Amino acid sequence: MLATAVAEKNAYQVALENFDLAADALELDDSVRAMIKYPERVLTVSVPVRMDTGQIVRFEGYRVQHSTTRGPAKGGIRYHPNVTVDEVKALATWMTWKCAVVNIPFGGGKGGVTCNPKTMSMGELERLTRRYASAILPLIGPDKDIPAPDVYTTPQVMAWIMDTYSMNMGYPVHGVVTGKPISLGGSLGRNEATGRGVYYTVLASCDHLGVPVQGARVVVQGFGNAGSIAAHLLDSAKAVVIAASDSTIAIYNRHGLDIPKLIMHKERTGSLRGFPAAEEITPKELLATECEILIPAALENAITEENAGEVRARIIAEAANGPVTPEADRILDRRSVFLIPDILCNAGGVTVSYFEWVQDENHLFWDEQDVNLKLERVMTRAFRDVLRIHVDRKVSMRLAANILGIGRVAEAVKIRGLYP
């Protein structure tokens, strides 16, 4: 495992810290703050799984609903050895603000199981998923809380959750999860949506800053779903992806990595290791590589006060959730690095999840071009809304996005009359 992205800073503390900054800027009074700051529900579950050896192992899982003020809770499920309840609370909180930034009618939720899926067989993963889905069943449903994929969960995992939920209801319920396989009510374009949304916000940032996309050097930390697709789209737009990493290795080629081949290599071997025409660098060097666009697309706390001073990028596009700590934010801000904050940058995933849910509920499916056009419209509008606050109020892009998202949640609380 690479050391850079291990969560040293408690992600939930980061979320609370960022909440207070935005609430101060919005001059929210104490009763509104109290209503929208903390999760509505936090569920911890035991997930006993019969392993292939016959032994039964107990895993711990979580589902957090941070807010249902603007609509059903919405958020992914993460399978990772470092999952903690505080991490899930942070991710659920960010989902609330993210859905509000792109203005879709969802609240925020998140789930996770502390496990190492890389060491588990498909059978073990299926049994873990079905047991976890059964344990969180009272909370989820198409009108209550709708999970989706996150780190190390896949469309197949979503299909098992949909099946487990449907067996319990006695009829098929497609809208209970998004990010499903297309053959099971998934949406065209959903698999690529997070990376595509990152791409649209990077294009908008380049346009705003006058940075030509053609020839722009790109560095990607975390070559998974979000990172590899953003890299692929930028490569197609004639940017040059010079470095990339996954949990096993970081690689570099100053003339540019062959991205279609790198994606095939990762699919075939499960790792970036062994890719020809690239030299190995350290994870630390990767984040310090001189470039126009740096895309942290792995886990939280990749850029901290320790390494923020070494970043040599013009733009940081937060494909991951919470990759930059508040201390690092301040350092990067002073150094005039333009940040596309996570709740804006990676909101393409939840936006197309929303489209998937709409299609499932209406039993009417759209073509891919339609999905992508609608996504582009949502992402571009959200980017403009955040940028306007950034410019008008002279605040960082992070604070601008939080002001927009948290402001909309506060508004909804007041209008619903939940506010005394």
Q: Which residues of the chain form contacts with ligand NAD (CB under 6 A)?
A: 2, 4-5, 149-152, 194, 221-227, 245-247, 283, 297-299, 319-321, 346, 349
CB 1 within 8 A of CB 250: no
Kind of pairing between the strands at 108-114 and 145-149: unpaired
- Closer to ligand NAD at the Cβ: 124 or 342? 342
Contact between 392 and 210 (Cβ < 8 Å): no
Q: Is 110 a catalytic residue?
A: yes
Kindly tell me which of 36 and 320 has the beta carbon lying closer to ligand NAD.
320
> From the CB of 59, what's the least distance to ligand NAD, in Å?
18
Q: Does the CA dihedral 310-313-315-320 come out positive or negative?
A: negative
State the pairing for strand pair 41-50/56-67: antiparallel
- CB of residue 70 to ligand NAD, shortest distance in Å: 18
- 72 phi and psi angles, rounded to 5 deg: -60, 150
At residue 307, φ and ψ (nearest 5 deg) are -115, 0
CB burial of 73-102 (b: ≥16 within 10 Å; e: otherwise) equals bbbbbbbbebbbbbbbbbbbbbbbbbbbbb
Integer-rounded Cα radius of gyration of the chain: 20
Q: Which is nearer to ligand NAD, 292 or 318 (CB)?
A: 318
To ligand NAD, the closest distance from the beta carbon of 326 in angstroms equals 17
Catalytic residue chosen out of the listed positions 89, 98, 110, 266: 110
Rank residues 129 and 346 by Cβ distance to ligand NAD and give the closer one: 346
Q: What is the largest CA-CA distance in the chain?
A: 63
Q: What residue is closest to ligand NAD based on CB?
A: 224
The CA–CA distances, whole Å, from 64 to 60, 107, 396 equal 13, 11, 29
Nearer to ligand NAD, 28 or 185 (CB): 185
Q: Are 227 and 296 in contact (CB under 8 A)?
A: no
CB of 170 to ligand NAD, least distance (A): 30
N- to C-terminal Cα distance for the chain? 49
Based on CB atoms, which residue is closest to ligand NAD, 235 or 246? 246
Active centre residues (catalytic): 110
